[in-house]
Structure 1
């Protein structure tokens, strides 16, 4: 079973400069290799392999000597990421790879091996960068697993976990270093403990819950429980406007403007952290209390094109919530069932099946003309979602086939799968 944990690191000023060089070098190599791939395939119909790109790094370092100060494996990993992007594109799982820009505020590079973690003093060693402080707020592996299954070394009475010494066990996987727009550095440690995913637990109609996500209410369960939308972005809009106005008033290129930009980025980071924490708590509660969860396959990318609802949809974060439900279900042996985005879950009466075609978004309650039942729009939709999913399950015939409807799995907490 693969899991990833994100920890904050605190480099000194010199190490921060080295990290920035690694971010830029990984981006540079990625873009350079992408141009080679496009050129060779566009003009000569030649497929450039990963070996070809890695061999080209030797001559690239002669042309750009500053690349010699960068961890070579991180540069090779940039090539591997590019080819993975092409593979996903040709398999229909992603878009065509594009250039990376330093203006998009996505800074990261990967270290596949030779990193070390000091478990005693909470420090981490990154090749070409050195030792720095890390906040291990949670254990990425249990103490028993480390003592019984891994090799550690003792230096001056401190216990150090060296990835190089444990290479044969294939437990410590790729480490990703990243920086947020607020200037905070993090590392994500991917772990493979070789424990199998639990088999999906048997579920019944009583242990299955349907979820209808919304904007006014974050989620409504088929049990009738409503989870209020905290609207973290909306609650912070006044503060964001004030901070953005402060940025606009500062002269471009000035130090005061840079300080104002950092303050604005930190507040955006706070909102993202609040939303992420809320989604983790809600998804954990639903997974813990149900054996099977029914969700709707929403077209979020299409819905955010509606300028009237785009901000509210982005604020609620449906995609991130569903991602958390999916990989937590895999961790704990629960089942995720999906219904199609065109299934009429809101317009159907869950009692008699009457379809109310005149239902619009502004109608929150409606009375069924056939059986006279008064429906709350969201609760009715969640109940219908559950019924549709179980009906599809009976048609499919097996639990395994239904469990396969979850789509792409996620092996760590910071993954980025979309609808």
Structure 2
């Protein structure tokens, strides 16, 4: 299986100028190729686009500076555009799973910049990496590469940070976990509640979010194409990076812990794109990173030989008693504790949902207590016993 290993590096002033020129050339080639695709009735092939926007463009006075950078990332830019069109067409025809892929867009200089090099465009020189027509850059090797990389991508994010991203081939690590399975219920106030009783609290983004809102209001008041607006834009980008890095660190640590300790991981297939349409909760839901957590658990389960499962989003995990299977119906979000009318067991709402997720994911297994009980589960509560829902708390 393939994996990405990302390292930060600090280029010299000369290397920064060379990288800025490289990113500009890659961006211009992408935009020129996309403009040709929009003008033509049928999309030209990748080889034809490379001939028009690279080979023939270097002979013109307007684009002769394309020859000052390596030709490899320019060719990769056209190849990436071809892949973007294939994904768009496959999404339109319904052949591609997941959310809809939009039409390729023009690149801006204020967005994140990148340039990809294949084998031949980079090589290792001691503890540094030589990049064609850029020189030797020295990344911070936080961990060793497991194998020889097939490509490297030079990235400059919106906050002017530089990274090297290597694509390498890794072998699965088959180990045995202590616990057979675990169900995870994801939430906003408490990020994850596990079926074994453990809870994972999400980092607080309130302070960073407050600073971000203040800077965004300041940016809206400033005139365009001014130095002060550019300074504010970079401050906003740095705050976004701090929030993203905090969330990514938390998700990586939590997913690694869960995958290393459990043989089977069961999650609920949440409709995140539909949930963020709620304008009162959309910001809080987006900051949690539920989809990213699921992706990390799935990838690490494949790496460590674990069994990753998801259950249907319509399963009534919050409406069923995890002990006896009695269905008490839909509950309001402010109800955090429930006492079952059948077995008299009092449940925490999230812990009960996590236990049901684990049982449904592992094949509708109910615990052995129900086989030992003499009473039977009733489908409707008695008239004189309308409800035993307790502990109404604000969420």
TM-score over 0.5 for the pair: yes
Larger radius of gyration: 2
| TM-superposition CA deviations, 1:17-38 (whole Å, max 9, x none) | 3222322332332233234344
Q: Which of the numbers 243, 253, 259 marks the counterpart of 1:287?
A: 259
1:125 partnered with 2:130: yes
Matches within 5 A, 1:261-410: 261-391=233-363
The match for 1:134 is: 139
Matching residue within 116, 132, 136 for 2:123: 116
- Cα distance in structure 1, aligned partners of 2:226 and 2:28: 27
Match of 1:99 in 2: 105
Q: Alignment partner of 1:134: what SS?
A: coil
For 1:244-259, list aligned pairs within 5 A: 244=216, 247=219, 252-259=224-231
The CA deviation at 1:47 is 5.2
Structure 1 position 213, deviation (Å): 0.8
Q: Secondary structure at the match of 2:101?
A: coil
> Following the alignment from structure 2 to structure 1, what is the Cα–Cα distance between the partners of residues 86 and 224?
41
Provide closer, same or farther for how the CA distance between residues 302 and 119 of structure 1 changes in structure 2, counting only shifts above 3 A. farther
Number of aligned residue pairs: 354
1:186 & 1:78 partners in 2: Cα distance?
Answer: 18
1:48 aligns with 2:44: yes
Deviation of 1:52 (Å): 2.1
Equivalent residues in 2 for 1:26-37, closer than 5 Å: 26-37=26-37
CA contact (8 A) 1:200 1:335 kept: no
Calculate the aligned-residue CA RMSD, in Å: 2.6
- What's the TM-score once normalised by structure 2's chain length? 0.81
Label 1:305 to 1:69 Cα distance change in 2 as closer, same or farther (>3 A).
farther
The aligned counterpart of 1:68 is: 67
**Matched residue of 2:292: which SS?**
helix
1:276-306 Cα shifts (integer Å, max 9, x gaps): 1111111111011101100112122222121
Write the distance in 2 (CA, Å) between the matches of 1:9 and 1:340: 43
Distance 1:254 1:51, change over 3 A: closer
Decide which structure has greater helix share: 1
Alignment correspondent of 1:182? 159
Q: Which residue of 1 aligns with 2:182?
A: 209
Aligned-partner Cα distance in 2 for 1:343–1:35: 47
**The 10-residue stretch of structure 1 (325-334 or 22-31) with the greater mean CA deviation from structure 2:** 22-31
Q: Residues 353-410 of structure 1, C-alpha deviation per residue, up to 9 Å, x if partnerless?
A: 23333312222222223333222111111111111111179xxxxxxxxxxxxxxxxx
Equivalent-residue separation in structure 2 for 1:293 and 1:275 (angstroms) = 21
- What is the CA distance between 1:11 and its match in structure 2? 1.6
Q: Quick check: 1:73–1:111 contact (8 Å CA) kept in 2?
A: yes
> 1:142-181 deviations in whole A, cap 9, x for unaligned?
xxx7xxxxxxxxxxxxxxxxxxxxxxxxx32111111121
Closer, same or farther in 2 for the Cα pair 1:190/1:392, shift >3 Å? farther
Which moved further from structure 2: 96-105 or 351-360?
A: 96-105
Query: Aligned equivalents of 2:223 and 2:11: distance in 1?
Result: 30
> Which has the bigger relative contact order, CA under 8 A and spacing at least 6?
1
Q: Any stretches of 5+ residues in structure 2 without a counterpart?
A: 366-395
The TM-score normalised by the length of structure 1 is 0.77
Are the counterparts in 2 of residues 85 and 96 from structure 1 also a CA contact under 8 Å? no
